[in-house]
C-alpha cells in the first residue's frame, strides 16, 4: 500500500505544478463539490470498515478495499477537473502514507531490540491492511490531551516496578475483550489509551471485580451511577455492570458527559470518575475553570483521587509508548470465536483440560471475562455455546471432548473432599491376661485386664433428607456434589433452567434420586 500512495503523490505533484488558475464556472464548482463529497463518503466508509475489521466482521476487508478504490478514483478525476485542489483531495492519502511509514518504523525498532517481533499495542491483532486506519483513528491524540508531568512520571515508575505484573495482566485481559470494549470508545470519539488506563487502574481487566464500596465490573461502576447509564439488572438476574461491552459503553458516555461540563479536561473527568462528579464540578466552577494540576484545585480532591488521575494517565501513556520504556507487551491470540460444548462442563473443568499452552496463567480469566453471566463452577449443559477464541476452540477440540485429560479434568472438578474421610467403628484396647497366655515375670506386674465394654445400642439410621434449604453462597453444582446428585436431574426436578442454574438463599430443593444417606 505505501508504494501505491507514493505513485499517487508523484502524479499529484505534477498535476499541482501544471494547475490552471483560471476562474471557475458554476459547472466546474458543482463538479468539485461532488468530488469533495465522494472523498468524504469514501473516508467515512473506510473508517466504518476498520471498526468492522476490529470486530472480526468478514465484510470489513471488502468494504475497506472498495473505499480505497473510491478514493483513488476521486483523486484521478480531480487531476482532470479544472480548479480541483489535488492537495486537498490528497490529504487523506498523505496521512495514511505517513502513518504507514511510522508503523513500519516502529516494527523495525522492535525487531532491532532483542529480536522482539511483537506488534505495538495500537496494531496488535489488527489485520495488516487495517493498521494505517487504526493508527489514524487514534493518532496519539491522547498525548496532546493530557499533561506529561512529574506526577505522571512517578506513576509510570510505579507501573514499571512493583506494578509491572498487574499492568501486563491488564493488557492481556484487555486484548481478549478489546473487540467488545474499544468500539464503544471509538464511536464516542475517545482514545483507546484512555479506556485501557481506566480499566488497568480500576480492575486489572477482571470483569467480576467488586470493591468493598460496591463498585463492580471492569470499569467499576457504582450501582446508582450505573443505573443512570443503562447498567444494572437485565431482567434475568444478571448485573450488566459485569458485561465488558455494556460497561465500556457506559464509561464512554459518562466521560463525555463529564468532559462536556469540565472544558474537555481529561484530568478533571478522571477526578470526577473517582472522586465524585458533584465535587469535580464544584471545584471546577469555584476555581474559574483552572487545571486539575493547579494547587488550589488539586488540593480539594482526596488523596485517593490525587493518586488515581496520574496513575490512569501513566498506564495510558505506557499503552501508547511501550518501546520508549523497554516494555514488551505479550502477543495475545484473541480472535473471537464461539465454542459449542460437546458435553456438560464448567469453566473450571475447561480451564483444566485446555492447559496453558501459549498462556502463562491458562485460560480461566479469558473464559470468565468473555462469559460474565456464568460463574466458574456453574455446570453448563451439552450444546451450550459460550464465547471463546479460535485458539481456545482448537484446544477444546483437541483435549476436552474425549481422552485421558478430559476425564481427568472431570474427575478433579467432581471430586468431593468429604469422601476422603474414612469412618470406622469404635476401637477397643485389649489387655493381656493369663487366659491369653501372658505370664507375670519377676519384678514385672501383670497387665491389668480391662473389663469388656458394654455393647452400644445401634442408633437407627437417620432418614434421608427429602429436601435441602439453600444457604447463602451455595451453587447448584456444589449442592449436587454434596448429595451426589446428577446435576441435570436435580435441575429438572426443581424446575431450574440450564445453563445458569440460578438459585437463591432460602430456596427449598427436592433431593429426589440423590444419594443422601
- Stretch among 178-182, 316-320, 509-513 having the lowest mean pLDDT: 509-513
pLDDT tens per residue across span 344-382: 999 999 999 999 987 888 999 999 999 999 999 999 999
149-175: pLDDT as tens digits? 999 999 999 999 999 999 999 999 999
Strands 385-389 and 336-340: antiparallel
**Cβ count near 249 (within 10 Å):** 23
Cell 456438560 sits on residue? 344
Task: Report the percent of the chain where pLDDT is more than 90.
Answer: 50
- pLDDT tens-place string over residues 420-449: 888 776 666 555 554 444 444 444 444 444
Contacts for 105 with CB less than 8 Å, ≥ 6 apart: none
Q: Read off φ and ψ for residue 5, nearest 5 degrees.
A: -60, -45
User: Would you say how long the chain is, in residues?
Assistant: 517
For residues 501 and 236, what is the distance between their CA atoms, to the nearest angstrom?
A: 12
Query: What pLDDT was estimated at residue 278?
Result: 95
Among all chains, which residue has been given the C-alpha cell 455494556? 246
Bigger pLDDT: 103 or 204? 204
| Residue 418, pLDDT score | 84
pLDDT band at 452 (very low <50, low <70, confident <90, very high): low
Q: CB neighbours (10 Å) of residue 270?
A: 29
pTM of the model: 0.60
Amino acid at each position: 500500500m505505501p508504494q501505491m500512495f507514493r505513485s499517487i503523490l508523484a502524479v499529484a505533484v505534477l498535476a499541482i505544478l501544471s494547475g490552471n488558475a483560471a476562474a471557475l464556472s458554476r459547472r466546474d464548482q458543482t463538479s468539485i463539490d461532488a468530488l469533495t463529497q465522494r472523498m468524504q463518503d469514501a473516508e467515512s466508509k473506510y473508517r466504518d470498515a476498520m471498526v468492522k475489521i476490529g470486530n472480526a466482521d468478514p465484510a470489513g476487508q471488502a468494504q475497506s478495499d472498495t473505499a480505497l478504490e473510491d478514493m483513488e478514483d476521486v483523486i484521478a478525476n480531480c487531476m482532470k477537473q479544472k480548479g480541483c485542489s489535488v492537495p486537498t483531495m490528497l490529504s487523506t492519502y498523505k496521512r495514511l502514507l505517513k502513518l504507514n511509514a511510522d508503523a513500519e518504523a516502529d516494527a523495525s525498532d522492535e525487531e532491532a531490540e532483542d529480536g522482539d517481533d511483537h506488534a505495538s499495542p495500537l496494531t496488535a491483532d489488527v489485520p495488516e491492511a487495517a493498521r494505517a486506519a487504526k493508527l489514524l483513528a487514534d493518532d496519539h491524540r491522547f498525548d496532546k490531551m493530557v499533561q506529561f508531568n512529574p506526577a505522571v512520571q512517578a506513576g509510570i515508575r510505579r507501573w514499571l516496578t512493583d506494578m509491572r505484573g498487574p499492568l501486563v495482566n491488564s493488557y492481556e485481559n484487555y486484548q481478549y475483550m478489546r473487540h467488545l470494549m474499544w468500539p464503544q470508545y471509538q464511536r464516542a470519539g475517545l482514545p483507546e489509551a484512555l479506556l485501557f488506563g481506566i480499566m488497568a487502574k480500576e480492575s486489572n481487566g477482571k470483569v467480576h471485580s467488586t470493591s468493598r464500596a460496591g463498585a463492580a465490573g471492569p470499569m467499576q461502576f457504582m450501582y446508582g451511577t450505573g443505573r443512570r447509564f443503562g447498567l444494572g439488572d437485565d431482567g434475568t438476574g444478571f448485573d450488566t455492570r459485569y458485561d465488558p461491552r455494556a460497561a465500556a459503553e457506559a464509561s464512554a458516555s459518562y466521560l463525555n458527559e463529564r468532559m462536556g461540563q469540565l472544558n474537555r479536561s481529561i484530568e478533571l473527568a478522571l477526578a470526577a470518575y473517582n472522586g465524585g462528579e458533584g465535587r469535580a464540578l464544584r471545584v471546577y466552577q469555584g476555581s474559574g475553570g483552572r487545571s486539575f494540576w493547579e494547587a488550589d484545585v488539586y488540593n480539594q480532591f482526596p488523596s485517593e483521587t490525587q493518586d488515581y488521575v496520574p496513575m490512569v494517565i501513566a498506564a495510558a501513556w505506557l499503552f501508547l509508548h511501550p518501546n520508549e520504556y523497554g516494555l514488551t507487551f505479550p502477543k495475545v491470540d484473541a480472535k473471537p470465536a464461539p465454542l459449542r460444548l460437546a458435553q456438560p462442563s464448567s469453566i473450571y473443568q475447561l480451564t483444566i483440560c485446555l492447559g496453558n499452552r501459549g498462556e502463562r496463567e491458562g485460560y480461566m480469566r479469558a473464559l470468565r471475562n468473555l462469559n460474565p453471566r456464568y460463574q466458574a463452577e456453574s455446570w453448563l449443559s451439552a450444546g451450550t455455546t459460550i464465547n471463546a477464541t479460535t485458539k481456545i476452540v482448537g484446544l477444546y477440540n483437541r483435549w476436552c471432548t474425549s481422552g485421558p485429560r478430559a476425564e481427568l479434568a472431570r474427575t478433579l472438578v467432581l471430586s468431593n473432599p468429604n469422601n476422603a474421610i474414612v469412618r470406622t467403628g469404635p476401637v477397643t484396647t485389649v489387655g493381656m491376661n493369663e487366659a491369653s497366655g501372658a505370664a507375670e515375670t519377676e519384678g514385672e506386674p501383670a497387665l491389668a485386664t480391662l473389663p469388656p465394654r458394654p455393647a452400644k445400642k445401634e442408633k437407627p439410621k437417620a432418614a434421608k433428607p427429602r429436601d435441602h434449604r439453600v444457604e447463602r453462597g451455595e451453587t447448584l453444582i456444589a449442592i449436587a456434589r454434596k448429595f451426589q446428585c446428577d446435576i441435570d436431574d436435580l435441575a429438572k426436578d426443581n424446575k431450574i433452567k440450564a445453563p445458569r442454574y440460578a438459585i437463591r438463599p432460602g430456596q427449598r430443593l427436592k433431593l429426589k434420586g440423590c444419594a443422601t444417606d
